Structure 1
Amino acid sequence: MAEHKHGEADVEVQENTFAGFIKLVTWGGGISIGILIFLALFNT
């Protein structure tokens, strides 16, 4: 079995995935809040 060397793994893919997830959550939250404000303003 190969020796494990701490800090040598390539984590670029994981970092890009996490950045995409954060962007998705931010946009989704903003759109949801926008829809709720729209519904609150135009509720009859």
Structure 2
Amino acid sequence: MAEHKHGEMDISVQEKTFAGFISMVTKGTIICILVLIFIALVNG
């Protein structure tokens, strides 16, 4: 069994996936807030 060496694994794919996830969550949150503001303004 190979020994584990800390810091040798290539994590570039995981970093890109995480960055994409954070970006989508941020955009989704902003869209939800804007929709709620729009509904509040239209409903008056």
Same fold by TM-score greater than 0.5:
yes
How many residue pairs were aligned?
44
Q: Give the gaps of 5 or more residues in structure 1.
A: none
| CA distance, structure 1, for counterparts of residue 6 and residue 22 of structure 2 | 26
Post-superposition, which runs of at least 4 consecutive aligned residues in structure 1 deviate over 2 A? none
Higher helix share: 2
Deviations 1:12-34 (A, max 9, x none): 01100000000000000000000
Q: Give the gaps of 5 or more residues in structure 2.
A: none
Q: TM-score by structure 2 length?
A: 0.94
CA RMSD of aligned residues (A): 0.8
